[in-house]
Structure 1
Amino acid sequence: MTGRPTPAVPVPALRVWLGLTALLAAATVVALGVLYAGHSEPGRVDRWFVEPTADSVRPPWRYLALAVDFLAEPIGAAMVMIAAVTGCLLLRLPRGAVLVVGGVGMTVVTTTVIKPLVGRSIHGADNLSYPSGHTAFITALALVVALLATGRLGLGRTAGALLMLAATVVAGAAMGWAQVALSAHYATDVLGGWCTALAVIPPTAWLIDRSADSLADRSADAERRERR
């Protein structure tokens, strides 16, 4: 026994599935970025959903969209993150707490870096839209929670994969709907944000696991040397 804390990705059988998902998601982010680079108008796919205008959705649905949007605004996001980290610490999941901060934070940073590289805008050149940071944030958080729940509940590969898929689809679809309804993003921006989260969280979780394992091994080796 090494006394290691619970891994961020606790089901080894899911790591291959998560890796393939991350690769496919990353390829989608790049493909959409190349396709819509420099654009300032909705594409054909975007117009299938809704024409982005200031009154794309009216009350009472607009109030719901604003409430969902608030969860990824600075104050709302801070509240959600604090709650998630607190939950991890109360459940004695230190790696989970690190993944919440590091993984979700890295996802948001990634969207921030991609936006000027792609240069897609909505309602003016200053409003860079691809990929959706709001959608990426909530999807990343949902994936982290699903990862930790999979380990905590002892779910197998199939059940764990279904839980993660359901969590990310529901969270991403809800935030994506809000962003499109509020005319903050095109539908393809939302897809790009969703895929960004799926591309960033798995390798971040793996890196956190490897780093924690390495530290635990060095600590165990030091303890053994002290006992000699």
Structure 2
Amino acid sequence: MTGRSAPAVLPPSPRAWLGLIAGLATLVVAVLGVLYAGHGEPGRVDRWIVRPTADSVRPPWRRVALAIDFLGEPVGAAVLVVAAVTGCLLLRRPRAAVLVVGGTGMAVVTATLLKHLVGRTIHGDGNLSYPSGHTAFLTALALVVALLATGRLGLGRQAGTLLVLAAALVAGAAMGWAQVALGAHYPTDVLGGWCTALAVIPATAWLVDRMADRMTDRPVDRSADAGRPEPR
């Protein structure tokens, strides 16, 4: 006997495309990590986009950048995660609630591990910069929300994939702009953080679905009923 299965957090329609995108994102993260391993200066692409390590934003846009940056700080991130989990539970999407916590957590942990592995710094004093953890977090959260919306709306492969990518692009661009404008990261750090989320979330979503399906399909233990007289 099997229990009732909750809706999958990784909808079947965009699954193949997201798997391909996750693979490409992993490749980008690896290539950039190798290129900038141990560096403490901006690369050619970074210099072309913005003046090196410049805090280039001024009021009133500086306040906007700081507000966006706060969303990636521990307090701001916790507020967003709690709000997202609450929304998932109200919508009766327990798998999505698990993915909110597990997916964003995995994205941040992966970014942190990569920072120590790559060893790229900014502003000296051992400030590890690649990839951007703030960008990875907000992009990961946007991906989870977009996956939930794709499943609830029953979108097809193209529409679902476009929605997920659009959400990731908006969130990543917003946080990436704030990080570069405030001089906290190089532009390539932001790209690495964005791709980290694109690589981690589909894999984590697949894992959540696999584990949930296995738990749902587990046979019911009826040993407690052994020895009881059958009803006449």
- TM-score for both structures, normalised by structure 2: 0.93
Spell out, residue by residue over 1:87-141, the C-alpha distance to the aligned partner (whole angstroms, 9 max, x if none): 0000000000000000110010000100011000000141000000000000000
Aligned pairs for 1:55-204 (under 5 A) are 55-204=55-204
Counterpart in 2 of 1:209? 209
Spell out, residue by residue over 1:116-175, the C-alpha distance to the aligned partner (whole angstroms, 9 max, x if none): 110000001410000000000000000010001000111111110110111000000000
What percent of counterpart residues are identical?
Answer: 72
Any gaps of 5 or more consecutive residues in structure 2?
A: none
Shift of 1:14: 1.6
Counterpart in 1 of 2:27? 27
Asked whether the equivalents of residues 85 and 97 of structure 1 are also in contact (C-alpha less than 8 Å), the reply is: yes
Tell me the distance in 2 between the aligned counterparts of 1:188 and 1:114. 14
Q: Which moved more, 1:46-55 or 1:165-174?
A: 46-55
Counterpart in 1 of 2:50? 50
Shift of 1:5: 1.0
Read off the aligned partner of 1:190 and give its amino acid letter: V
Spell out, residue by residue over 1:184-224, the C-alpha distance to the aligned partner (whole angstroms, 9 max, x if none): 00000000000000000011100110000000000xx2178
Asked whether the equivalents of residues 139 and 171 of structure 2 are also in contact (C-alpha less than 8 Å), the reply is: yes
Decide whether aligned partners of structure 1 residues 201 and 99 sit closer, same or farther in structure 2, where only a CA change above 3 A counts: same
Asked whether the equivalents of residues 52 and 180 of structure 1 are also in contact (C-alpha less than 8 Å), the reply is: no
Asked whether the equivalents of residues 53 and 184 of structure 2 are also in contact (C-alpha less than 8 Å), the reply is: no
Tell me the distance in 1 between the aligned counterparts of 2:151 and 2:221. 28
Asked whether the equivalents of residues 70 and 76 of structure 1 are also in contact (C-alpha less than 8 Å), the reply is: yes
Spell out, residue by residue over 1:31-86, the C-alpha distance to the aligned partner (whole angstroms, 9 max, x if none): 00000011111111011221144531111111110010000101000000000000
Decide whether aligned partners of structure 1 residues 12 and 70 sit closer, same or farther in structure 2, where only a CA change above 3 A counts: same
Shift of 1:2: 4.3
**Partner SS, residue 24 of structure 2:** helix
**Partner SS, residue 222 of structure 1:** coil
Decide whether aligned partners of structure 1 residues 215 and 133 sit closer, same or farther in structure 2, where only a CA change above 3 A counts: same
Counterpart in 1 of 2:8? 7
Asked whether the equivalents of residues 81 and 100 of structure 2 are also in contact (C-alpha less than 8 Å), the reply is: yes
Read off the aligned partner of 1:19 and give its amino acid letter: G
Higher radius of gyration, 1 or 2: 2
Any gaps of 5 or more consecutive residues in structure 1?
A: none
- TM-score for both structures, normalised by structure 1: 0.95
**Partner SS, residue 12 of structure 1:** coil
Tell me the distance in 1 between the aligned counterparts of 2:190 and 2:172. 8
Tell me the distance in 2 between the aligned counterparts of 1:27 and 1:78. 30
Shift of 1:13: 2.8
Tell me the distance in 2 between the aligned counterparts of 1:187 and 1:79. 26
List, as ranges, runs of 4+ consecutive aligned residues in structure 1 with deviation greater than 6 Å. 223-228
